[in-house]
Amino acid sequence: MTSPAGSGPEVPVTVTFAGCGDAFGSGGRFQACIHIRPDTGQPPVLLDCGATSLTALRQAGLDPGEIAAVFVSHLHGDHFGGLPFLILDGQFSGRVAPLLITGPPGTGQRLTTAMECLFPGSSQVRRPFGITVTELPPGGTQTMAGVTAKAWEAAHPSGAPALILRLAVGGTAIAYTGDTAWTPAIQAAARDADLLIAEAYYWDKPVPHHLRYADLTEHEVTARRVILTHLSADMLGNQETARYETARDGLTITI
């Protein structure tokens, strides 16, 4: 069986929202950390790794040492700031499996800078596992750990291009807006996807550089399932009336 949305045989994929909050802990939620495990025995990957991700993964009962690859949407701390902790945890827990990281242009230098700021000397230390950082420009594709990401440019200044991503996990397509103002690239990335994970920062109040629930209802999005993340306190207060599902930390679905 093949899926028109993806690129290979359809296998179930387990998605756990270990962290689904905004940058500021609204609702007591962890920052962006979405754990994706194909039910093929392949190791899991992460979509974003916010600063609180190590705690979020452990809270959800997920082993950080299993994660083979991290796809980073953009270089804000609530989306990539957990990488230094993930890397150091691997170092101190005896990890040997390589860790693959894909993010927008500039990811390699920003990760080194973050590591040196938080744990001086940590970017240069010898480790028993390799780290490969691949920079993915808008329009590009990259495959890591059996998962292929395609990138579109988001409208979200972060000192580097920000990405909207569509992952092909076997035949299952998962689109992710990251943080972005409305752009038609969301419709392209989400076209007939099995799941769209969409930022819904505010209900309908105009806010620069971010997506509102109203943006998603005012435009046609053809993903088969939509789950809202990155909710501010304003959006958390409105989520009961939203037409789409909303994430919560620890929510696990199979698609």
CA atoms within 13 A on the CB side of 175: 26
Nearer to Zn ion, 142 or 232 (CB): 232
Site of interaction with Zn ion (CB under 5 A): 76, 78, 179
Nearer to Zn ion, 95 or 156 (CB): 156
**Among 224, 239, 151, CA closest to 193:** 224
Query: Nearest approach, Cβ of 89 to Zn ion (angstroms)?
Result: 22
Nearer to Zn ion, 78 or 215 (CB): 78
Query: Nearest approach, Cβ of 8 to Zn ion (angstroms)?
Result: 31
Query: Nearest approach, Cβ of 22 to Zn ion (angstroms)?
Result: 6
Nearer to Zn ion, 135 or 179 (CB): 179
Nearer to Zn ion, 78 or 249 (CB): 78
Query: Nearest approach, Cβ of 46 to Zn ion (angstroms)?
Result: 15
Q: What whole-number distance in Å separates Cα of residue 211 and Cα of residue 206?
A: 9
Contact 171, 8 (CB under 8 A): yes
Query: Nearest approach, Cβ of 20 to Zn ion (angstroms)?
Result: 11
